[in-house]
Amino acid sequence: MAKVFIDGEAGTTGLQIRERLAETQSVDVISIDNDQRKNADARREMMRLADLTVLCLPDDAAREAVALAGELGSDAPKIIDASTAHRTSPDWVYGFPELAPGQADEISAATRVANPGCYATGAIALIRPLIEAQIVRPSQSFTINAVSGYTGGGKSMISAYEAGTAPRFELYGLGLSHKHIPEVMKHTGLTQKPIFVPSVGAFPQGMLVCVPLQLPDLANAPSLAAVNDAFASYYNEAGTVIYHGNADDTAYKAQRLSIDPAEGSDQMEIWMFSNPEDHQAVLVARLDNLGKGAAGAAVQNLKLMLALT
């Protein structure tokens, strides 16, 4: 059995990863004693025993953990980092298997994988196919709007919502410098910084990420059919990203989309909602911020790196 150590197991993402791995018979999760979880020597020893270590830590602590693993030389485990610390590093493989053809193979062969951010997962999934199909230029100006459940906001936000002291809904990141923006730019190929407006609501899990399109403003003023075809061909294989097509042609003609089905799912669903008369569209990704946006993605990458089914 493959041995996996979750450094930061007591956090929200760590607990969710452990819960998913409990259903995987070929994985043995090894745990550090609670009173030793900040002991560098004890953590290094757990890494030595592990085939793979998942880091569920703040950025600085994740960097320190990578340094600890580096001290082990040939005994160092493979690492998945769920923090922001290495998501734009050229020395780490980006852990989004559906990012591009061959990405899953790169993850399988990697020893260092950066798990994507939740918002970034949705935004990249909506923008990258447009750039690859040359429907938009890398210099295109984008606006990204998103709402997430409060479990993505860390312990203080979770405590406030569960205590009933948090607002029912709020925008944040209004300094327009959210930590996911560099990640989105690097892994889409954008050269123009997008405007990203995240928000959080009084529900624990789930996320909607929206990218509006004014088709006449895009390269070659593409048709709705061209945009639809770009997504249909990009996500045409069975996997954790599902493209449902132009919502005008589906059961979603009611012009509504609930966040609820995302909770507990390790998949991401994508739609295009459109107004043909005005040549406008809105691309929407629905995912669980703790599923495909965090723990589900980590387990998907772990299975690739350990060659597990």
The reply to whether domains 2-116+294-305 and 118-289 share a CATH topology is no
Helix H or strand E encompassing 155: helix 154-162
The pTM assigned to this predicted structure is 0.95
207 versus 25: which is more confidently predicted? 207
CA distance 184 to 120: 6
Q: How confident is the prediction for the chain on average, in pLDDT? A: 94
Grade residue 193 by pLDDT with cuts at 50, 70 and 90.
Answer: very high
Do the beta carbons of residue 289 and residue 148 sit within 8 Å? yes
Do the beta carbons of residue 245 and residue 234 sit within 8 Å? no
Write out the E strands in the chain. Answer: 2-7, 27-30, 52-55, 78-81, 93-94, 112-114, 143-149, 169-171, 195-201, 207-214, 241-246, 268-275, 280-287
Region 264-291 average pLDDT: 95
Q: Could you say which of 99, 118, 259, 290 is catalytic?
A: 118
For the chain, how big is the Rg over CA atoms in Å?
20
pLDDT tens per residue, range 151-171: 988 888 999 999 999 999 999
Grade residue 220 by pLDDT with cuts at 50, 70 and 90.
Answer: confident
CA distance 306 to 301: 9
Domain residue limits, the chain:
2-116+294-305, 118-289
Nearest CA to 281 out of 210, 200, 232 is that of 210
Grade residue 254 by pLDDT with cuts at 50, 70 and 90.
Answer: low
What percent of the chain has pLDDT above 70? 97
Residue 248, pLDDT > 80, answer: no
Q: Spell out the residues 6+ positions from residue 15 whose beta carbon is closer than 8 angstroms to its own.
A: 9
**pLDDT for 265:** 93
Q: Is 56 among the catalytic positions?
A: no
**In one letter, which amino acid is 174?**
L
Architecture of the domain delimited by 118-289: 2-Layer Sandwich (3.30)
In this structure, whether the domain defined by 2-116+294-305 belongs to CATH 3.40.50.720 is answered with yes
**pLDDT for 219:** 87
